[in-house]
Amino acid sequence: MPGKNLSREEARQRADILAVDSYRVHLDVSSAPDPAAATFRSSTTLTFRCSRPGAGTFVDLLARAVRSVRLNGRDLDPAVVFDGSRIALDGLAAENVLVVEADCAYSRTGEGLHRFTDPADGETYLYTHYEPADARRVFADFEQPDLKAPFSFTVTAPAAWDVWSNAVHEQVKDEDAVRTWEFAPTRPISTYLTAVVAGPYHVERDHYSRELADGSTLEIPLSALCRRSLARYFDADEILTVTKQGLDFFHEEFGYPYPFGKYDQAFVPEYNIGAMENPGCVTFREEFIFRSKVTEAAYEGRANVILHEMAHMWFGDLVTMRWWDDLWLKESFADFMGSYALTGAGTQYRSGWVTFANQRKAWAYRQDQFPTTHPITADIRDLEDAKLNFDGITYAKGAAVLKQLVAYVGRDAFFEGARLYFERHAFGNTVLGDLLGILEETSGRDLRTWARAWLQTAGVNSLTPQLTVDAEGRITELAVLQDGATLRPHRVAIGLYDRDADGALVRTDRIELDVTGARTVVAELAGRARPALVLLNDDDLTYCKIRFDAESLETLRTGLGDLTDDLARALTWSAVWNLTRDGLMPARDYVALVLRFAGQESNIGVLQSLHQQAKGAVDLYADPAWRAEGGRLLADGALRELRAAEPGGDHQLAWARYLAQTANGSEHLRLVRGLLAGTARIDGLEIDQELRWSFWLALSAAGEADEQELAAEFTADNTAGGRRQYTQCLAARPTAEAKAAAWSAVIDSDELPNALVEAQIAGFAPAGQRELTAPYAPRYFELLERVWSERTIEIAMRIVGGFFPRLQTGPQTLAAADAWLTGHPDAAPALRRLVLECRDELARALRAQACDRL
């Protein structure tokens, strides 16, 4: 499979004959502040061994130009050996030294070495991001996770800059207007985990110490950094507090000292993902630095990500999967550990498992019901497959299954297994069997059957209670019905809920059991009085969709908000949302539940999820004839709850944002404009910069904001965040000219940076502009293959997913998607997967609309 892609078989063949001893990489980025400078100088010295002298191989490199290639003292002609993505090497010796000099491109897509110039002060910042395979955009390498090696980086940068990498710097040399930073060799790590961060970053420092079991003291220098223009918003003390709590927790649980020396955390601009676990130099999206007031859910989410990335230092960095098939060996574990450590590490955030049940698992359920679903241990044929498998199955479903595994083997056996896993495979690569073998050893259980059921099959099961009750209201039989393509063993709790003297719904009993097969009878409940609510999977022990019997569902219709337990309430909200998505509950009924009970929801993260889901129900799943009425009801509800919320609290802020998202009538829009202008006021509500942009977006989409007003707001907020918001507002205006401009900016040019591509797409198709954007549906299908072939995979994925005409929820769009899939059987598999998933979402919306019409 030639070209930018790399197949699993090619990687296997290369690993069979090669072992890498070291990389020495010198990057000269002194040209970065000059916007006219498109490239930087990259020099790589790679030493490696070959078990079959005389054989040939290749190194990976995506570069504008290759100046020279020297293998074992022999010069190779770049024009002959370099094809744009690979350098062919032949006649290998048993021991080899390869030196490659190249000109590599500064990135504006977040892949490779990304360059950003801050509109607030003109300063330039750099950072790298590689996963799964973009280190080759910065230096020549063997771009696969199982060819680990120590890396020594040297970086020449402007003299006023600081530079960070995975290891500590050993010396800094000043030379005229530049400074050269030389870093110590790393421990053996994979290419995708290497990192460089450079620029005039603001830095906060701290230190972590821990006495180890052998009596020695572990010392870890800590730092947190961000752009200078964000320094006034940077709550580094909170970030570093969570960091130290996490280090305490993981040392206690894993028993293996942190192996990468220092621990830097860089919050960087225009970042494509949440964060990346580069050992010793973790990178985060800078949106985790909050310029305006946010709810506690945002702080909890950031703490979760900090702990998720820290877990990777062991699961992923110290021990790495051999190939991307076993991506779950790091991502599922880190996702599980992020939630587990939120409470276990003693942070102030106590709702980690509620958030996991309500948000992370919703992602998993959605992904697992696509026709493209895959087992947790996936079949990853190549790098394009790998890129798409950073999904809800690899992360959230895998984490949910691990939660069940901990319950199955026992907490002590699980963490003892983790400790043995690190000891035996430190700085190496593993596959599924390596971990399972150790867990079998520590738990005494046979995990092969469990692995076949949970790790090697796809799809989600539904569990439904089936009750028969006698004339006196006592249970004669309660059975749990399981459906799904693969019936699995589930360790579940069944909660029985009734009203107490105050009218609250409280748990009166709990039964824990194993559900196996299509029907499992719960003998212990025979003879019990029939409760008001039977809640399967209480305490969220397993991964499944839960259903309700008719009487339990009626209890929820009249009293869902009366459930006093946060987790039980989150599980029921999740269940009724799944019913809506599955076309088993009319969308208007779900909206009615939200309007009735969301005002009682105390968990702010759950409330914000309900906001998004209710809007999705109206926009996608409601009968089009009722859609306008549903939208009006949501806006009226948002306004009502905004006025009723506690002044200055998180709930007030959440409802204000929801009003901005749903405002569609003159009363709502008049209030929004008044709040912006200061002529209207709601006690306790501060109209800060982020909320101002939310209100401007509402006015823009409604045609109530002109370009001059938006430009004036951007002038007042001439920052990176302001530029993104301004771009989205311009794209959201309900005019043919605004749509044409947004479409052209993304499709007809590749000059936009990733953040502004995202902003243009986000503003292009507000829910109320279906007719205006309908002409772009056929154009979308016409450009797919061109976009996939011409753009980087990151940008291509955003265009393919973002511009799909998902709001054109009619049979014509479904037919167009089917026609494209039928007519392009040989299109790139990753492209077909994205289109097929979008098509499936559309078909689901049509089924839900049919349910809502009944």
Catalytic residues: 309
For 46: left if phi > 0, alpha if psi spans -120 to 50, otherwise beta; the answer is beta
Q: DSSP characters for 163-192?
A: EEESS-EEEEEEETTEEEEEEPPPPSB-GG
Q: Which residues are paired to 206 by β-bridges? A: 222
Distance CA 489, CA 8 (A): 32
Nearest C-alpha neighbor of 135 from the set 111, 169, 170, 117 = 111
839 is written with which tokens? 């098509």
Distance CA 788, CA 35 (A): 27
Total residues belonging to the chain = 854
DSSP 8-state class, residue 325: G
Please answer whether residues 503 and 495 qualify as being in contact, where contact means their C-beta atoms are separated by less than 8 angstroms: no
Longest Cα pair distance anywhere in the chain, in angstroms? Answer: 93
- Backbone angles phi and psi of 451, in degrees to 5: -65, -40
- 10 Å CB burial of residue 472 (0-12, 13-18, 19+) is exposed
Distance CA 206, CA 237 (A): 9
415 is written with which tokens? 């963490």
854 is written with which tokens? 């009944």
CB within 8 Å of 135: residues ≥ 6 apart: 128, 141, 143, 191, 192, 194
Task: Find where tokens 């209030």 sit.
Answer: 671
Residue type, 691: L
Residue type, 723: R
> Using H for helix, E for strand and C for coil, what is the string for 812-842?
HHHHHHHHHHHHCCCCCHHHHHHHHHHHHHH
If DSSP codes are grouped into helix, strand and coil, which group holds residue 613? helix
Distance CA 44, CA 373 (A): 40
Cβ neighbour number for residue 749 with a 10 Å cutoff: 8
Q: Is the peptide bond before 465 cis (omega within 30 degrees of 0)?
A: no
Report the chain's C-alpha Rg in angstroms: 28
CB within 8 Å of 74: residues ≥ 6 apart: none
Task: Find where tokens 């509109």 sit.
Answer: 119
